[in-house]
Amino acid sequence: MRKHVIALIKPISKTMNNPKRSRKGNRSTEQCAKSSIVVVRLKGSSKLTYSIHRETYLRNPETCEMLLMTAWHNVPLYPTFWPVEEEGTVQFAIVFPPMPKHWRLFEFWEMRGEDPFYAKGIQRNTDEVYIVHLSYQ
C-alpha cells in the first residue's frame, strides 16, 4: 500500500541531470528552466523497483486542463524498472510545460495500470519546483 504526502519545501536547483542515468526524454538545463518540475522522493525497501509512465500529467482541478510530462531525469519509463538502491531512498524529476498563469493549485497523476499514484491539492509557487514524497511499506 502506498502513502502519499505532499510537501512544498525550499526551491531546489533545476539542474536535475544525472549523466549516469540520462534517457532519451531528457532535455537541457536551459529548457527545463522554463518548465514546471515535480521532484519525487520515493522511500521504500531495497526490494522495491520504480519507473514512471509516459502518460504522467499535472491536472488543474478547477478547469480540468492537463499538462503531459515532457521529460524525466533519473527514472526509467514504464515498463522498464530500476531497483531502489540499498539505502531505500530514490529521487527523480519529472518535467512539464510551464503552468498557465491562472493555475492556483494542481494534481499530480501517474497513470500506470491499476495502481496509479495521485497527489492532490498542490499549491502553485513562484519557483515552479514541487516536491512530492512517496512511501512504500
| pLDDT of the residue at 96 | 97
Burial class from Cβ neighbours inside 10 Å (0-12, 13-18, 19+) for residue 115 reads exposed
Q: Which is it for strands 89-96 and 71-73: parallel, antiparallel or unpaired? A: antiparallel
* Closest by Cα among 1, 50, 43 to 131: 43
**What pLDDT, on the 0 to 100 scale, is given for residue 24?**
43
Distance CA 26, CA 118 (A): 23
Of 16 and 99, the structure prediction assigns the larger pLDDT to: 99
Residues contacting 60, CB < 8 A, separation 6+? 66, 100, 103, 105, 106, 107
Of 1, 2, 18, 11, which Cα lies nearest the Cα of 131?
11
105 pLDDT exceeds 90? yes
Residue 84 confidence (pLDDT): 86
75 CB burial (10 A radius; 0-12, 13-18, 19+): buried
The reported pTM is 0.73
**pLDDT above 60 for 12:** no
- The per-residue pLDDT for range 26-81, each reduced to its tens digit, is 444 444 557 999 999 988 877 888 889 999 999 999 999 999 999 999 999 988 99
Q: Please name the residue that has the C-alpha cell 504526502.
A: 5
